[in-house]
Chains A and B, each alone.
Chain A
């Protein structure tokens, strides 16, 4: 334990010192070798050196970031593309065979279908609940406490959340005492307990609840801030104009924060497309709950060992995220320019 802590500390120290040496050192070298006030320099030369220095300097500072982005982000994209065009051991070129496999494989299609279901339900529910809480909490004296509680799941990792919800959905055989909250409630109202996460189709929704539970807090915080940004006068003017609370909400408030709603919705959509941990921890894709990210993991690391097929699945996920990502960034940018 002690050793781990010291080694972690040491790593941080080395990192910080290395950063310092790099940024300070390269800067110092640049100033030293391209100095413009040295002896025997004509005015023209010294101006040239000034411009040269100011051209090089930004690249010195950008280099580490660009380098690591290249190694860990850009290179993997091309490597994945290359792998997707090769067979399981990445030795023989197979063309688009992996793609035709994916589009005919029932397990892939089921996972894609489930992803689509997640995509429709989770962002909509999270944004909807988040908006509802944001609006209602402002009217209560304990609204801030409620908001803090609802925001808290954001701090829990997906796997941690899954463990918590595993207890909620827990099933102990038909005759045993139920420790899961859901089954306890079902029993209380006279129903018979079930292993909820093994009931096909509906179990998808039980998994989605976990992500909704986490993402509602995020949506609530952003939308709450947006709601505060609505000019109070427009709401008062609407009241005087004779609008009801419902009309004010849908006619005046929602349209004014609509750009923010879109950003929240798309941000959650991207998270949903990548969903992996929850499914892995809860069902590992059994009982028809498979999703693309988990399927990719299966093909690569668990029994599959097929870099071609898993890379193909990875590309499918990337292409699905890409348009939403671009749209999201454009939304954020356009919202910022109007501020």
Chain B
């Protein structure tokens, strides 16, 4: 187990800079998830950590060692790939044992280690199968087993669940979380799925265009997003964003209503954000924050998403599952004041 530190990490491909100075400290045993849209540099960062991509400038430390110029095998890391990267010509046992070939261990110890890992991943009965005889979930389990068997300092996961169907993905997600709780090794996990990030991570690193946008626990990034991007990226459905400008009465929104509160520091152009789940229908006689007509209703069972046209803006609200408003009907929505997020429209930064 080990800490990981990235210092001013820069990566350029040909002449294009794709990572612009990444700084991050990862604690021993921490489960860190890199999340962001495709092309944000999260996989590149991971591959640099693994030693599969050269570092253009900056430093990578694993434990107390600078590993910039070390070969992948000297870094004592293990990686799980999106496409499993299983050796198709070897049995499951040989696949898992491949990384042990060079280890200084007796044959019995190696076999014992493989059996242990297979036991943990509950695939002992699959050891003599060929990869072609395995399902997608089983293949990914083999890939994880191959990583575990070497008892590395750090596990790297590169979108390991993207190729699995939705149900299996949820199941494997749970297994990876349990695995981390059991072995306690530092895990760095890359995904584009914010749900995976929220459910798995001790800390989430949100990236965009080669910059880190925010680092924090799932609760932090959800409740206090640092900027517009994070606010919209984390949480489903996305946070409602309403542009407006500051006046004496409060913030006058383009959607056609005014919010009577304001942050301490307030620039002229402001965007406010309200999560759909924080919008509740106003009670009879109570003053409502906004009012509009329902344009789309999406029942999800436990809850219902309603799309409301407020002025010229469409707003999403989550209402209880039994509520199914008619299309075109008027709804009045309210939200607690503390659930309103303020952003500077120009810079996109959150305002306190």
User: Chain A: residues with CB nearer than 8 A to chain B?
Assistant: 231, 233-234, 236-243, 247, 251-252, 255-256, 258
Q: What residues on A are CB-neighbors of B262 within 8 Å?
A: none
Residue of B nearest to A234 (CB): B85
Q: What residues on A are CB-neighbors of B87 within 8 Å?
A: 234, 237-238, 252, 255-256
Choose from B85, B99, B102, B143 the contact partner of A231 (Cβ within 8 Å). B85
Q: What residues on A are CB-neighbors of B72 within 8 Å?
A: 236, 239-240, 242
B98 engages A231 (CB within 8 Å): no
Given the known A-B contacts A234-B87, A252-B87, A256-B88, are A240 and B77 also in contact in the complex, defined by CB atoms under 8 Å? yes
Q: Which residues in window 77-107 of B have CB below 8 A to A?
A: 77-79, 81-90, 98-99, 101-102
C-alpha gap A234/B52 in the complex (Å): 12
7 pairs of A and B residues whose beta carbons are closest in the complex: A233-B85, A242-B73, A241-B99, A255-B89, A237-B85, A233-B81, A240-B72
Q: What residues on B are CB-neighbors of A234 within 8 Å?
A: 85-88
Residue of B nearest to A235 (CB): B85
Q: How far is the CB of B114 from chain A (nearest CB, A)?
A: 13
Q: How far is the CB of B67 from chain A (nearest CB, A)?
A: 13
Q: How far is the CB of B234 from chain A (nearest CB, A)?
A: 29
A243 engages B102 (CB within 8 Å): yes
Excluding A234-B86, A241-B146, 8 further A-B contacts by CB distance (< 8 Å) are: A231-B85, A237-B81, A240-B50, A240-B77, A240-B78, A241-B98, A242-B72, A256-B89
Q: What residues on A are CB-neighbors of B71 within 8 Å?
A: 239
B275 at the interface (CB under 8 A from A): no
B150 at the interface (CB under 8 A from A): yes
Q: What residues on A are CB-neighbors of B89 within 8 Å?
A: 255-256, 258
Q: Please, could you name 30 A-B residue pairs with CB atoms under 8 Å apart, sorted by A?
A: A231-B85, A233-B81, A233-B82, A233-B85, A234-B85, A234-B87, A234-B88, A236-B72, A237-B81, A237-B87, A238-B87, A239-B51, A239-B71, A239-B73, A240-B50, A240-B51, A240-B52, A240-B72, A240-B78, A240-B99, A241-B98, A241-B150, A242-B72, A242-B73, A242-B99, A242-B102, A243-B73, A243-B102, A255-B87, A256-B87
Residue of A nearest to B90 (CB): A255
Q: What residues on B are CB-neighbors of A238 within 8 Å?
A: 87, 98
Q: What residues on B are CB-neighbors of A241 within 8 Å?
A: 73, 98-99, 146, 150
Residue of A nearest to B94 (CB): A251
Interface residue count on the B side (C-beta < 8 Å): 26
Q: What residues on A are CB-neighbors of B101 within 8 Å?
A: 242-243, 247
Given the known A-B contacts A231-B85, A256-B89, are A237 and B79 also in contact in the complex, defined by CB atoms under 8 Å? yes
User: Chain B: residues with CB nearer than 8 A to chain A?
Assistant: 50-52, 71-73, 77-79, 81-90, 98-99, 101-102, 143, 146, 150
Q: How far is the CB of A238 from chain B (nearest CB, A)?
A: 7
Residue of B nearest to A240 (CB): B72
Residue of A nearest to B158 (CB): A233
Q: What residues on A are CB-neighbors of B88 within 8 Å?
A: 234, 256
C-alpha gap A239/B84 in the complex (Å): 15
A236 engages B52 (CB within 8 Å): yes
Given the known A-B contacts A241-B73, A242-B73, are A236 and B85 also in contact in the complex, defined by CB atoms under 8 Å? yes
Q: How far is the CB of B94 from chain A (nearest CB, A)?
A: 10
Residue of B nearest to A232 (CB): B85
Residue of A nearest to B77 (CB): A240
Residue of A nearest to B156 (CB): A240
Q: What residues on A are CB-neighbors of B86 within 8 Å?
A: 234
Q: Which of B51, B79, B82, B150 has the most CB of A within 10 A?
A: B79
B78 engages A233 (CB within 8 Å): no
C-alpha gap A231/B90 in the complex (Å): 15
Q: What residues on B are CB-neighbors of A239 within 8 Å?
A: 51-52, 71-73
C-alpha gap A122/B48 in the complex (Å): 44
Q: What residues on B are CB-neighbors of A247 within 8 Å?
A: 101
C-alpha gap A233/B52 in the complex (Å): 10
Q: What residues on A are CB-neighbors of B50 within 8 Å?
A: 236, 240
Q: What residues on A are CB-neighbors of B143 within 8 Å?
A: 237
B73 engages A240 (CB within 8 Å): yes
Residue of A nearest to B147 (CB): A240
Residue of A nearest to B150 (CB): A241
C-alpha gap A243/B143 in the complex (Å): 16
C-alpha gap A256/B89 in the complex (Å): 7
A231 engages B83 (CB within 8 Å): yes
C-alpha gap A241/B78 in the complex (Å): 7
Q: How far is the CB of B48 from chain A (nearest CB, A)?
A: 13
Q: How far is the CB of A163 from chain B (nearest CB, A)?
A: 44
Q: What residues on B are CB-neighbors of A231 within 8 Å?
A: 83, 85
Q: How far is the CB of A107 from chain B (nearest CB, A)?
A: 46
Q: How far is the CB of B213 from chain A (nearest CB, A)?
A: 28
Q: What residues on B are CB-neighbors of A252 within 8 Å?
A: 87
C-alpha gap A242/B50 in the complex (Å): 12
B79 engages A240 (CB within 8 Å): yes
C-alpha gap A231/B51 in the complex (Å): 18
A236 engages B81 (CB within 8 Å): yes
Q: How far is the CB of B317 from chain A (nearest CB, A)?
A: 43
Q: What residues on B are CB-neighbors of A256 within 8 Å?
A: 87-89
C-alpha gap A256/B131 in the complex (Å): 13
Q: How far is the CB of B110 from chain A (nearest CB, A)?
A: 13
C-alpha gap A236/B77 in the complex (Å): 13
Q: How far is the CB of B330 from chain A (nearest CB, A)?
A: 55
Residue of B nearest to A233 (CB): B85
C-alpha gap A242/B104 in the complex (Å): 13
C-alpha gap A238/B52 in the complex (Å): 11
A243 engages B98 (CB within 8 Å): yes
Residue of A nearest to B143 (CB): A237
Residue of A nearest to B81 (CB): A233
Residue of A nearest to B75 (CB): A240
